[in-house]
Amino acid sequence: MLPTPEIPSPDEALDQYLAHLGMERNLSTRTIQSYQEDLRHWVAFMVDGALAFGDINSEHLDEHLQAMSLGFKYEPSSVARHISSLRGFLKFCLQRHWSSLDVSNQLELPKLGRYLPDCLSIEDVESIYTNIDLTRKWALRDKALVELLYGAGLRISEALNLQLEQLNFEDGWVLPIGKGNKQRLVPLGAQSIQTISDYIHKERPLCTPLSSHVLLNPRGKMLSRMGAWKILQRITRHLSKPVHPHSLRHSFATHLLEGGMDLRVLQELLGHADIATTQIYTHIEREFLKEEHRQFHPREKEKASREFSLVNRKAL
């Protein structure tokens, strides 16, 4: 007969779950903090009600979620996030025999309205590039930031944490490290390579001392999120809509889809974490990825069109 497991307090259980997310699931510190923020309401609910894990039932779940949506007046999207976090935490407790409540079929996500992140037009994106004043100090770095966010579709965290050894200009690749510490291959177009290379060889050496990160501030340290946000605010203030780092990544994805790129290829380029989806793409060849990127990325198509026109003029 197995010994009865020692059941921790709600706070202790939460600490163990967060440690599990970091050590076994390899989630980032920021993601773990998000789980902690979501689950603190449930822990407070258990503590205030003097509930042990063996006491909780479906009625307690309903009461807690009603408080989330009515008492705290959370939007459906926030409630859905809380439910997802709570489902994972209670599953963790069930696996450790602290609780007998199986929530896999009990916590339903609320219906959400369709969420469409801000998307820029191709003309808007091109105006951002042309609006960067190249006579201004650190303009090459600012342009390199846009190339990583839009030209390669990186997350802002991936762009800011990018190391020099993750760039391969010769073969035309960048190897960002995404969520879950997973690395992927993303092709770099000719214009992205030129812009980032110009920054690295002409402007980046002016930063002292130098760290191994690609994007640096003038003090030679990794560019911060706030620094990147201020750059984008400055170079996009001519537009009628606010531009966030994710706006450029979303525009990258939208423009490629509109151009006809296969959704599976785009999923690989974006580095989405769904395992069932990712397994579909494991056999996509590198050259095919590069060709798809070159064919459907708006800036690459524009470059090819200019080269075609130049060849025709020479022929005449």
Residue type, 201: H
Q: What CA–CA distances, in Å, run from 63 to 68, 70, 186? A: 9, 10, 46
In terms of Cα–Cα distance, which of 104, 108, 145 is closest to 244?
145
Count of positions (residues) in the chain: 316
Known catalytic residues? 155, 179, 246, 249, 272, 281
Q: What CA–CA distances, in Å, run from 192 to 147, 239, 273, 288? A: 6, 22, 25, 19
For 79, the token pair is 């409630």
> What are residue 186's DSSP bridge partners?
174
